[in-house]
A and B are shown apart, each in its own frame.
Chain A
Amino acid sequence: KQEVTQIPAALSVPEGENLVLNCSFTDSAIYNLQWFRQDPGKGLTSLLLIQSSQREQTSGRLNASLDKSSGRSTLYIAASQPGDSATYLCAVSPLSGGSYIPTFGRGTSLIVHP
């Protein structure tokens, strides 16, 4: 059974800092890995999706890397802003079965203060 762990559980930083959020998973037979953002009381917004054959994806100030063999992914946020405050979730979809049902971590709650 796939298990996804996110560290740290919570993070509070001043504006402008560069951040690294970590995600680890136990089964390396994955189809892809996705990073989401969730604002309080809202649904999830997809940030980056990395296919199993890829090593990283970038979007603006966000960069996600994937090391499938070690079961790790990192989300790098450059020059953090107060608007980045949210919970960031990592989800891993399995390679087999065709269902692509993701397993989610518990998330990292990020606060960026001015």
Chain B
Amino acid sequence: DTGVSQNPRHKITKRGQNVTFRCDPISEHNRLYWYRQTLGQGPEFLTYFQNEAQLEKSRLLSDRFSAERPKGSFSTLEIQRTEQGDSAMYLCASSHTTGQPQHFGDGTRLSIL
């Protein structure tokens, strides 16, 4: 069990640029979740996959946000035309089909200049 891996750990970019984050889940987990966490808050759910199917995406923050999990293994989260308000920690978690417990990665810290 190598744990959930997220890359990069930190991303600094200028407003208006596109960014992409990668998440590698625990290998036998078929569920993968994305969250956003801002300072002093708990994680806020964005979207999740079961295998390659994206089962919930209505809570993505805007149409600038999209996620993929093309082969049911790793996943990417893309933010287009970044804004100052997108600065946050983006967390990925994986689990078995039962959804619990969720195992989290260390996140990607996004800073928008």
Q: Which residues of A contact B (CB under 8 A)?
A: 4, 31-32, 34, 36, 41-46, 49, 89, 91, 93, 99-107
Kindly state the separation between the CA atoms of A31 and B91 in the bound complex, as whole angstroms.
22
Segment among B13-21, B61-69, B74-82, B105-113 that sits at the interface with chain A: B105-113
Would A99 and B99 count as touching, CB distance under 8 A?
yes
Q: Which residue of A lies closest to B42 (CB)?
A: A104
What does the 1/0 interface line of B70-100 toward A look like (CB < 8 Å)?
0000000000000000000001010100111
Number of interface residues of B (CB under 8 A): 26
Query: Nearest-CB distance from A64 to chain B (Å)?
Result: 13
Would A32 and B100 count as touching, CB distance under 8 A?
yes
Would A43 and B42 count as touching, CB distance under 8 A?
no
Kindly state the separation between the CA atoms of A91 and B72 in the bound complex, as whole angstroms.
26
Known: A4-B42, A43-B4, A89-B42. A100 touches B104 (CB 8 A): no
The 10 closest A-B pairs by CB, nearest first: A100-B99, A104-B42, A43-B104, A44-B104, A43-B106, A46-B101, A49-B101, A43-B105, A101-B45, A104-B43
Query: Nearest-CB distance from A92 to chain B (Å)?
Result: 11
Kindly identify, within residues 32 to 77 of chain B, every residue whose CB is under 8 Å from any CB belonging to chain A. 33, 40-45, 48, 55-56
**B30 on interface, CB distance cutoff 8 Å:** no
Would B100 and A45 count as touching, CB distance under 8 A?
no
Would A43 and B101 count as touching, CB distance under 8 A?
no
A34 partner residues in chain B, CB cutoff 8 A:
100-102
